[in-house]
Amino acid sequence: SGAPRFDHDPATGESLGLLIEESRTNDVPYSQDLQGLTASAVSRSYNSALSPDGSFTATKLVENAGNSRHYLRGGGAQASNTRSVYAKAGERRRIFLADSNVSWATFDLITGTIVASANCTPSISSAGNGWYRCSIFHTSFNGNCWWGLNTDSGISYESYQGDGASGAYFWGAQTEVGSFPTSYIPTSGSTVTRA
C-alpha cells in the first residue's frame, strides 16, 4: 500500500512505466477460483494450473457429457458493463463471455483472436504463458455474465455435446463499471474497490 505500481509487457517483461488508474469495483465475489457462480453443465476443478500471477490457483472448467451450453453464470449487476477473465486453453481452445443471450463474444485461446461477437466491444490480450485476458463491453448489459466453454469450431455460445472431460482454465474474473477493463482486482468472498 502506498507504493507506486509499474506496468509491464507480459511477453517481454519490459517496464511500461507507472500504472495510474481510476477507481473501480470488481463485483465478482470469488474472482480467482470462480466460486459462488452458478454452474450449468460444467464442473470446477480448483487449483488446477499456474495462474497469471504465478500462484497455483487457476480453476479448470470441465464440461459434462450433456448436449447443452456449458458455462458459469453470475458475478455482476447490469451496471457492471465491462466483464473480463483470464483464460488458457485446455482440451477446449475456445471460450465465450456472454450476457444472458444478448451480447456475447467467442475467443480462441490458441491464436489469441476474437472469433465472433454481437452487441458488444470485445478485446483479447496476451498475459504470457498461454494465458489471455478476454473482455466484453456494452453500454448496458441485461443481466449476469456467462463465462463458458465452446467447441474448437464453435462460433457463439451455442449448445454442443460435451464429452465429460474436456475444458479450459479460468482465473481472475472481473465485472466493473466502465468502457474498458482495468488491472485485475482480486476478491475472496465479497466485492472489492480499488481506490
Distance CA(105)–CA(131), nearest Å, equals 17
C-alpha 35: how far from its chain's center? 13
Please state the pTM of the whole predicted model.
0.91
Q: What region, left, alpha or beta, does residue 193 occupy, with left being phi > 0 and alpha being psi -120 to 50 degrees?
A: beta
Tell me the pLDDT of the chain (195 aa) as tens digits: 677 777 777 667 788 787 778 899 998 999 999 998 999 999 999 999 999 999 999 999 999 999 999 999 987 665 678 999 999 999 999 999 998 767 899 999 999 999 999 999 999 999 999 999 999 998 877 677 899 999 999 998 889 999 999 999 999 999 999 889 999 999 999 999 998
How far is C-alpha 24 from the chain's CA centre? 17
